[in-house]
Amino acid sequence: MKKVFITLFCLSLTTVAVKAQDKKAAPAPTAEENKDAGIFKFSDKDNTHDYGEVPEGPTAEYDFEFKNVGKKPIIITEAHGSCGCTVPKWPHEPILPKKKAVIHVTYNTQGRPGPITKDVYITSDASEKTTVLHIRGTVKPKAAEPAAPATPAAH
């Protein structure tokens, strides 16, 4: 019984090893294949927007404008913030060469006083598969409401 188990185990292990060798990774695109790909060119320096000081409560919003300076359309497949408080909205149609588009980013300031340092990750078929946008700033805390005056205790 022990020999049968060991034989089956060895056969299984060999089969897994052979199958793993069959799966070849797709070759990475060469520079030649990507030379015509779309290219993001953002109007913001370093793809960064600094909100400065913003009050706690309302959302802070910004439009990252870009132009496709490549030779092929750019298709954005996904965009997400580094946390749930940062929400991007992006164009779902292809951005043709020499055309402009906007990625709208909303940051929820409610309950988040202090510095803002968040990123938005854009996945596309552009020359750089992942593009990162940055938002910075400081959320100024709400002023503390004055305490209600103490009422004298009735005797």
Q: What is the pLDDT of residues 5-46, one digit of tens each?
A: 566 555 555 555 555 554 455 455 544 556 789 999 998 878
Is residue 155 in a domain?
no
Is residue 51 in a domain?
yes
Mean pLDDT, consecutive 10-residue stretches, the chain (155 aa), reads 60 56 50 75 90 95 96 96 95 96 96 96 95 96 69 61
**d(C-alpha 33, C-alpha 128), whole Å:** 13
Number of Cβ within a 10 Å radius of residue 105:
23
Is residue 3 in a domain?
no
Q: 41 CB contacts (<8 Å, ≥6 apart)?
A: 66, 67, 68, 69
**pTM beyond cutoff 0.75:** no
The secondary structure element, H or E, covering residue 55 is strand 48-55
Range of 111's domain? Answer: 40-140
Is residue 15 in a domain?
no
Domain count, the chain: 1
First to last CA, the chain: 91
What's at 101, amino acid-wise?
A
Is residue 128 in a domain?
yes
**d(C-alpha 143, C-alpha 141), whole Å:** 6
Is residue 47 in a domain?
yes
Is residue 2 in a domain?
no
Spatial CA neighbour of 60 closest among 6, 110, 120: 110
- CATH, residue 63: 2.60.40.10
Question: Could you tell me the two tokens for 120?
Answer: 């938005």
Q: Where are the alpha helices (DSSP H) in the chain?
A: 2-22, 31-34
